[in-house]
Structure 1
Amino acid sequence: MKYSKIPLSQTVVSLCKEHQIEHIIISPGSRNAPLTIGFTNDPYFKCYSIVDERCAAFFALGIAQQTQKPVALVCTSGSALLNYYPAIAEAYYSQIPLVVLSADRPKHLIDIGDGQTIKQNDVYGEHVVFSSDLKLDLKDDFKLSKDEEIPMIKNLENKLERFLGIQKDIQSYNETEMHSALDSAETLSGPVHLNIPFDEPLYETVEKLQIQTKKYKREEKETKIDEAELEDCITTWHSAKRKLVLVGVLQPNSIEKQWIEELANDDSVIVFTETTSNLHHQDFFPGIDKIIAPLSHDGFKSLQPDIVLTFGGLVVSKKVKAFLRKYQPKEHWHVDTNKANDTFFCLTKHLRVDPNWFFSKFFSRVTHNIKSDYKRSWLGTRKHRRKMQKAYLETIPFSDFSVFDAILSRLPQPSQLQVGNSSAIRYTQLFQIHKSINVFCNRGTSGIDGSTSTAIGAAIVSNKPTTFITGDLSFFYDSNALWNNYIPKDFRIIVINNEGGGIFRILPGHKNTENFDTYFETKHNLNASQLCSMFGFDYYSANNSEKLSTHLKTFYEVTDRPKLLEVFTPSRINDEVLLNYFEFIK
């Protein structure tokens, strides 16, 4: 096996292996050659070559999203690591562990006019949970300078002793920083950045490791909650007749079934879930906007809870945020080991424990459920909304709304659904997704950039077939995502092409003007057929219900290539259909 000759590179690769970082995403470059040599020559690592660093970072995000383990990104110096930034911000707010290993030049070569040199230290600012510059190895050179005194042997011994002492300190520092970074990525569930200086020559290799890292043992932190705080929660819970549980982004099967049943069996509890919550029960309330969008002031007052309990990641629904900000609960508790967002401006408790651990301590001491008709009355509303939605679908023309209904009802079971941002995830929220389908979306920063790359990364490590639903702008924006050799044959993309940013037609503003079409909706005449030809996808298109239905019958059959279905919808009526929907279901 070959190793880079540079000790620092050997250290980085060895400690990534010790921390069981398996997936390594490499973008081409010269300064990162020592790391590329180290990772690609060790069969322990699964290495991927992604040219576009922005795509590479979201690709890594998709893998980490699925495995819930740190994934490493390796890039050269200069602008390369700046292209990681959108995915780093997404990982920070979505609490996904990424490890950026950016190669750099030695300090004396920065800001002297060389190409691809920028100030790389702490470049991600507050969007990483740990950042450090590692130290450059000392040169293996003991030549005496002309003015050194003799005897030569004695001077050489002194110089060697000084060299070994300094190098030992450097090695100790680098190992400590590496361990801290890799620990932080895992325990804090976020991105970390290690900036790694390398001096030339960069490509020399050796057959044996020249360094031996010290064994490392992580200090395990005890999970616990203050007894007085827990008792206060139980007392408050017992007395409240209206409890609203709002669940954000969750990994599938992450909440134990017994706690799901405890929440479902309490008549004073309503559980609002989103498609990205991956949490299912017949008495829960998916489709939040469908429930609350048509409400009047009296309706909001009757829904206003005494307590809001939240867990999971960020919430898609703007309507539920607006509701809880205006009709605030007396208490808002958030359960998460790391973060708590004061989304509704009334956060009273951040319970820094895992939700399952909290529920195990909490429900074992909840002795009774207070009498309440809170859930029962709103189950009636839910039933009515679903009935009216079904009726509405029978009245509308071919549009985004009817297309999402057709697509979501024909997804393979079981499977994985990745959804692009903007209108795609908002339409998806309005429909019930079968419990065997796991749903994911980049809701950390909620940007349209990188959704395709994330979906492909996720598909590679998932044991289920993956469908990615996206809007046209998001898809074309991230078209370099298709430029890799790892896309599974059962990967499916559905592009909803309404010739622009359809979500802007839903928002307030003057529509159907040249200014709006050009600068807001961003009208275009592009289609995905030539991209599919270039990147090896089978291409299908539909512009009416009959063609869409025909293609969906065979779209998920396994072939030798991944497939893309582009659905063209009429941009001028989509907003009217959606806005009229909320009026209709009242």
Structure 2
Amino acid sequence: MTTSVMPDTSSQFNRRWARLLLETLTRHGVGHICIAPGSRSTPLTLAAAEHPSILCHTHFDERGLGHLALGLAKATRRPVAVIVTSGTAAANLYPAVIEASLTGEKLIMLTADRPPELIDCGANQAIRQPGLFAGFAVQRVDLPRPTPDIPAGWLVSTLDRALADPAPGAVHINCPFAEPLYGADDTGREDPWSRTLGDWWQGNDPWLKLPGTAAPASEPDWASWRGRKGVVIAGRIPCEQGARLAEWAAELGWPLIGDVLSQTGQPLPYADLWLAHPDARQVLRQAELVVQFGGSLTGKRLLQWQEQCRPAEYWLVDPLPGRLDPAHHRGRRISAPIGAWLDHHPAIAQAPWAASLAGYAGLARARIEAALGDGLGEAQLACRLNDLLPADGRLFLGNSLTIRLVDALAQLPAGYPVYGNRGASGIDGLLSTAAGVQRADDRPLLALVGDLSALYDLNALALFRRTTAPVVIVVVNNNGGQIFSLLPTPEAVRERFYVMPQQVEFRHAAALFGLDYAQPDTPAGLRACVRRAWSRPGGGAATLLELKVQPHEGADVFRQLVSGMARP
């Protein structure tokens, strides 16, 4: 006697389809999913909420949600998924998709959609979503309307193929669901459709396994190149490789010029100042080989030297695809993980050939100390940032003047995790990204952003109402986008159309979202506020510290220091 199986209703099969989709994501390393509220995405949301291996994060702002996922992906170095409903909710993910395409985080954008018969006919909240992210998504999967006529093996293997693509960046999976979207839970019912996958459900592997990335090859002439005069440029690289790269360069006797995101400890700090010194540039002209690790260089003088240098060869090592060299040097573009590449290219102990560069870095340090004094401005904050860092924590740096001052005036500890959005270098989603970084592993976080950046992502303060570890957000309020003070535009035009002073105080924003707030006005007061924050247990609200500084002071000090180094 056979047991009859009642057919699924549309809402029940939508749930089965979504469960299989979410289970497939976990087989590719997804452990975090960021979810915004919406009706059309209900099957996906319910599947994520019931999955035992998925940690769900929620936010009401889809633009911030995408950046929250970006921060999680940066810090975990694993793929992170996002679930949103249809219409402009999906479009708000675009900035995070663009950033991931440039910095390599793997995001999986699950955009719920109306079925085809509701597109281009005036239906509510229905837009053309296939191809929404154009060339910024490395893979695109336009799923059909869920139906048991499509084998479960087709769905899981289609997803496997897209998710196994080694290319970094975002994967867009568009998921149309027809109504009804709500119905009784069918977990206990017999499910012939899902059962066709057999014992796959009891394992942890993908249904369709695809070949992985090959190990990097050794440069055949490395043995001869390593004995010549080389220079190492360190851009954005993983924190565990920063100290190792610095040791590798030191053993070779090669100067290392490290970006603020290099996490190398910047053995020759303040490069954006001392590279303005003509004698320092004269020393570097002797370089026969320049090896750059990672992209996204911050300092203007470093970018200028990188563009103008003419060694015999220029090598650029980074796991991301593409040229990553805006100066278009003749040389080698080596796509490989930095640690694996160093394994294949051992150093040999040699005396430094450009030891005099340390003297120029020392000169820059002396001039910084003489120029800054004892006050509390944004230049002083950047220079003494190390005094505020939490033990075993993380640092997130905003864009524009903030990161440029830290890059030029600070020397951060080797191997200390430093994060930023330096792909497209926008100010959208900075606080949301910082929230994702903190949630990745519950370590204390110091985030430093400007006032316009904070205003642009003000909704993200809701993500800091309850944190699992102490968080300090420092908002440097210089009353506008003072990075534009460095532009040679007429002052009246500059203030109105570029700097855009807003005359705001963040005390009210902190109160709105229930955050602790202080406005220290001395270095000692700032240090005391930060110490109190680090001593508090996790589980409470973040601390927002607002530094009200003179509008042009930071840019003026920076300009004067660069000018002084250029005239020895």
**TM-score in terms of structure 2 length:** 0.88
Deviation at 1:15, TM superposition (A): 0.7
The question of 1:253 aligning with 2:245 is answered: no
d(CA) in 1 for partners of 2:210, 2:505 = 53
Counterpart amino acid of residue 26 in structure 2: K
Greater Cα radius of gyration, structure 1 or 2: 1
The 8 Å contact of residues 280 and 357 in structure 2, kept in 1 or not, is answered as no
Matches within 5 A, 1:70-469: 70-138=79-147, 164=149, 167-168=150-151, 171-184=152-165, 187-204=166-183, 205-208=185-188, 210-212=193-195, 213=197, 216-221=207-212, 223-225=214-216, 230-238=219-227, 240-241=228-229, 243-254=230-241, 257=244, 260-267=246-253, 269-280=254-265, 284-293=267-276, 295-296=277-278, 299-304=280-285, 305-339=287-321, 340-363=323-346, 369=350, 373-374=353-354, 376-394=355-373, 398-429=376-407, 430-435=409-414, 437-469=416-448
The 8 Å contact of residues 392 and 584 in structure 1, kept in 2 or not, is answered as no
Q: Tell me what 2:549 maps to.
A: 569
Report which stretch shifted further, 397-406 or 37-46.
397-406
Aligned CA distance change for structure 1 residues 337 and 501 (closer, same or farther; 3 Å)? closer
**1:234-272: CA deviation from partner (whole Å, max 9, x where unpaired):** 33443x32x111111122113684x643321222x1111
Aligned CA distance change for structure 1 residues 529 and 436 (closer, same or farther; 3 Å)? same
Aligned CA distance change for structure 1 residues 27 and 222 (closer, same or farther; 3 Å)? closer
Choose from 483, 486, 510 the match for 2:490.
Answer: 510
Report which stretch shifted further, 66-75 or 319-328.
319-328
The 8 Å contact of residues 134 and 177 in structure 1, kept in 2 or not, is answered as no
Q: Tell me what 2:505 maps to.
A: 527
d(CA) in 1 for partners of 2:43, 2:416 = 42
Deviation at 1:414, TM superposition (A): 2.9
Q: Tell me what 2:458 maps to.
A: 479
Q: Tell me what 1:48 maps to.
A: 57
d(CA) in 2 for partners of 1:526, 1:495 = 12
d(CA) in 2 for partners of 1:354, 1:287 = 27
Counterpart amino acid of residue 127 in structure 2: I
d(CA) in 1 for partners of 2:345, 2:469 = 46
The 8 Å contact of residues 20 and 156 in structure 2, kept in 1 or not, is answered as yes
Matches within 5 A, 1:541-556: 541-545=519-523, 547-556=525-534
Deviation at 1:290, TM superposition (A): 2.5
The 8 Å contact of residues 27 and 50 in structure 1, kept in 2 or not, is answered as yes
Tell me, what secondary structure is at the counterpart of 1:353? coil
d(CA) in 1 for partners of 2:118, 2:473 = 45
Report which stretch shifted further, 82-91 or 10-19.
10-19
The 8 Å contact of residues 449 and 477 in structure 1, kept in 2 or not, is answered as yes
Report which stretch shifted further, 478-487 or 490-499.
478-487
d(CA) in 1 for partners of 2:440, 2:22 = 22
The 8 Å contact of residues 443 and 469 in structure 2, kept in 1 or not, is answered as no
Deviation at 1:347, TM superposition (A): 4.4
Unpaired runs of 5+ in structure 1? 141-163
The 8 Å contact of residues 104 and 197 in structure 1, kept in 2 or not, is answered as yes
Tell me, what secondary structure is at the counterpart of 1:520? helix
**TM-score in terms of structure 1 length:** 0.86
Deviation at 1:211, TM superposition (A): 1.4
Q: Tell me what 2:13 maps to.
A: 5
Unpaired runs of 5+ in structure 2? 1-10, 201-205
Tell me, what secondary structure is at the counterpart of 1:206? coil
d(CA) in 2 for partners of 1:519, 1:532 = 28
d(CA) in 2 for partners of 1:256, 1:358 = 15
d(CA) in 2 for partners of 1:346, 1:133 = 39
Counterpart amino acid of residue 387 in structure 2: S
d(CA) in 1 for partners of 2:376, 2:122 = 58
Tell me, what secondary structure is at the counterpart of 2:432? helix
Aligned CA distance change for structure 1 residues 372 and 421 (closer, same or farther; 3 Å)? closer
Deviation at 1:544, TM superposition (A): 4.6
d(CA) in 2 for partners of 1:558, 1:291 = 40
Deviation at 1:192, TM superposition (A): 0.7
Q: Tell me what 1:151 maps to.
A: none
d(CA) in 1 for partners of 2:67, 2:37 = 16
Q: Tell me what 1:148 maps to.
A: none
**1:376-421: CA deviation from partner (whole Å, max 9, x where unpaired):** 1212222222233223223x76532123334442322332111111
The total of aligned residue pairs comes to 537
The 8 Å contact of residues 253 and 279 in structure 1, kept in 2 or not, is answered as no
Deviation at 1:42, TM superposition (A): 1.9
The question of 1:582 aligning with 2:562 is answered: yes
d(CA) in 2 for partners of 1:522, 1:538 = 27
Deviation at 1:201, TM superposition (A): 1.1
Tell me, what secondary structure is at the counterpart of 1:14? helix
Tell me, what secondary structure is at the counterpart of 1:425? helix
The 8 Å contact of residues 394 and 417 in structure 2, kept in 1 or not, is answered as yes
Aligned CA distance change for structure 1 residues 286 and 188 (closer, same or farther; 3 Å)? farther
Aligned CA distance change for structure 1 residues 250 and 222 (closer, same or farther; 3 Å)? closer
Counterpart amino acid of residue 400 in structure 2: S
Tell me, what secondary structure is at the counterpart of 1:211? helix
Deviation at 1:535, TM superposition (A): 0.7
The 8 Å contact of residues 406 and 549 in structure 1, kept in 2 or not, is answered as no
The 8 Å contact of residues 161 and 210 in structure 2, kept in 1 or not, is answered as no
The question of 1:32 aligning with 2:41 is answered: yes
The 8 Å contact of residues 258 and 268 in structure 2, kept in 1 or not, is answered as yes
d(CA) in 2 for partners of 1:367, 1:48 = 48
d(CA) in 2 for partners of 1:4, 1:483 = 34
